Structure 1
Amino acid sequence: MKVALRYCLYAALCLPLTAMAQVAERVISLAPNLTELAYAAGLGDKLVGVSAYSDYPPQAKKIEQVASWQGINVERILALKPDLVLAWRGGNPQRPLSQLASLGVQVIYLDPQNVNQVASALDQLADYSSTPQIGHQAAEKIRQQLSQLRAQYGHKPSLPVFIQFSTQPLFTSAGSTLQSQIVNLCGAKNIFADSAAPWPQVSREQVLSRQPQAIVFPGTTQQQGDITAFWRDQLNVPMLAVNSDWFNRAGPRIMLAAQQLCAEIDAIKR
């Protein structure tokens, strides 16, 4: 009986210590969307290093940049003494990340491929925050927004659309991408959803043969004229510009892109 009591007291004392050991005090993010996720999960004030183009929220611009398209500055990261590094397996080079891990730095990989995984990433990061309710609430908000959009637009006829990411060369996305999921969520169909490659290069002829009824592209309304000119005399359909950071980054603002696109696609159908 005494042994059991001592064990219970020991467990009760150790559980809080185990939980506190997970809280990160010095965090580094190696991709702009991971920076956004960190802030949304309540870890923004713990960031001591970020990647290039980490510009949201605005205070992220003031944090030292330790990674860019040229690579990861391992020496500087080690000097900053992080207890947690957020990495993107699909975009960060593996060798420096393996080097950091071998030196005892905790590296976790976050690469959301759909909206539910964005929410799950927030839940995962919340466990490293001293205020985990912030991340969990942000995750739940995304799930609620997703359900609302599905209920509002999911039952409507599908509109074939072309998702255009550049002109020369002409790139699009396949059905496995987050961007394609957002289009589907809004009651539209990605005409290249069946592509085996996630980011296929296509020709004008391939696009025209699939007869899209709208074009979705990340960019500004000013760039809309360029896209229209690119398809002049070949494709006279609505051009839907969506903020590139909202649409391209797998972070909380993907729901802003979804809300905008769903309203615009619905308007075309009417």
Structure 2
Amino acid sequence: MAKWINTLLLLLMLPVAALAATAPRVITLAPHLTELAFAAGITPVAVSAYSDYPADARQIEQVANWQGINIERILALKPDVVLAWRGGNLQRQITQLQALGLNIVWIDPQTIDAVIAAIRQLEPWSNNPQLAQQHADRLQARFTALRQRYAQSQRKTVFLQFGLQPLFTTSQATLQNQIVQLCGGDNIFADSQVPWPQVSREQVLMRHPQAIVIAGDAGKITAVKQFWQPQLAVPVVAINDDWFSRAGPRIILAAEQLCAALQH
């Protein structure tokens, strides 16, 4: 009897073992790509530095950082697909991986719609395509709800501030600008010819923003206010840095946080 039960248990476990053995091998080369992969039901075999969400990502081998990627290790892991980011991965190294026969998929969402589309795009490499669809559908529903709720909001001019010295901001060609627009804000440097321009204190003051948005926690607000005194005394809104700076699923959390604060 015991032998029969053990045999039955072994047979039941075979499909699970087979699934694990045939799971697509995915490598992500940026933190937001790691988040997108997990949202699509994918557990990568390797990730980049700073891939810290979800918590399971912290236990995965890292094969890339700001200095570049470990080509030898990536080849040894024999991935089915490598997810790359044009904004952070060296084109030369990615081209080398392609020349060696690896399948490269570039993912660089510049809008919330593109973030949602990226999750759906990853379904072919997911063990749980239904989970990918569910995550994408939920993000779409939350995005639609925000658009409807804040469509008639009173517009406010906004300075998107990154850093103090030097000062950087963003143009209309970025995901962060879209979030500000969604929440009833008008980016004072939307018309910049480059996506991430460096600006001066005088340029900001001349455009008279009604609010300042920064990436980080509330502890940074005091320093920002002191920097602009006495010429500019406007509300400063701090948005969770990882939510706001990464083009991943948590971008919707940044949008919800900003909309609530900006229209308070």
* Common topology (TM > 0.5): yes
CA distance in 2, matches of 1:200, 1:154: 28
CA distance in 2, matches of 1:219, 1:177: 18
Task: State the identity %.
Answer: 57
**Would you say how many aligned residue pairs link Structure 1 and Structure 2?**
244
Aligned 8 A contact 1:52 1:68 in 2? yes
Which residue pairs with 1:217 in the alignment? 214
Matched, 1:87 2:84: yes
| Aligned mate of 1:163, from 160, 164, 170 | 160
Aligned 8 A contact 1:24 1:84 in 2? no
Paired residue type of 1:162: F
Which residue pairs with 1:100 in the alignment? 97
Aligned 8 A contact 2:30 2:51 in 1? yes
1:231-259: CA deviation from partner (whole Å, max 9, x where unpaired) = 12121011100100000000000000000
Give the Å deviation of 1:179: 0.2
Give the Å deviation of 1:130: 2.3
The normalised TM-score by structure 2 is 0.90
Pairwise CA RMSD: 1.2
CA distance in 1, matches of 2:23, 2:174: 31
1:229 counterpart SS class: helix
| Aligned mate of 1:232, from 221, 229, 234 | 229
1:48 counterpart SS class: coil
Give the Å deviation of 1:24: 5.3
Give the Å deviation of 1:145: 1.1
The normalised TM-score by structure 1 is 0.88
Q: In structure 1, list runs of 5 or more residues that go unmatched.
A: 1-19
CA distance in 2, matches of 1:121, 1:28: 15
Which residue pairs with 2:25 in the alignment? 26
| Segments ≥4 residues shifted beyond 2 Å | none
1:240 counterpart SS class: strand
| Aligned mate of 1:70, from 67, 72, 76 | 67
1:182 counterpart SS class: helix
Deviates more, 1:124-133 or 1:183-192: 124-133
CA distance in 2, matches of 1:229, 1:84: 48
Which residue pairs with 2:204 in the alignment? 207
CA distance in 2, matches of 1:257, 1:90: 20
1:129-151: CA deviation from partner (whole Å, max 9, x where unpaired) = 12111111111111111111111
CA distance in 2, matches of 1:95, 1:264: 42
CA distance in 1, matches of 2:124, 2:205: 48
Paired residue type of 1:34: L
Which residue pairs with 1:180 in the alignment? 177
1:152 counterpart SS class: helix
Which residue pairs with 1:5 in the alignment? none
Give the Å deviation of 1:48: 1.2
Aligned 8 A contact 2:26 2:125 in 1? no
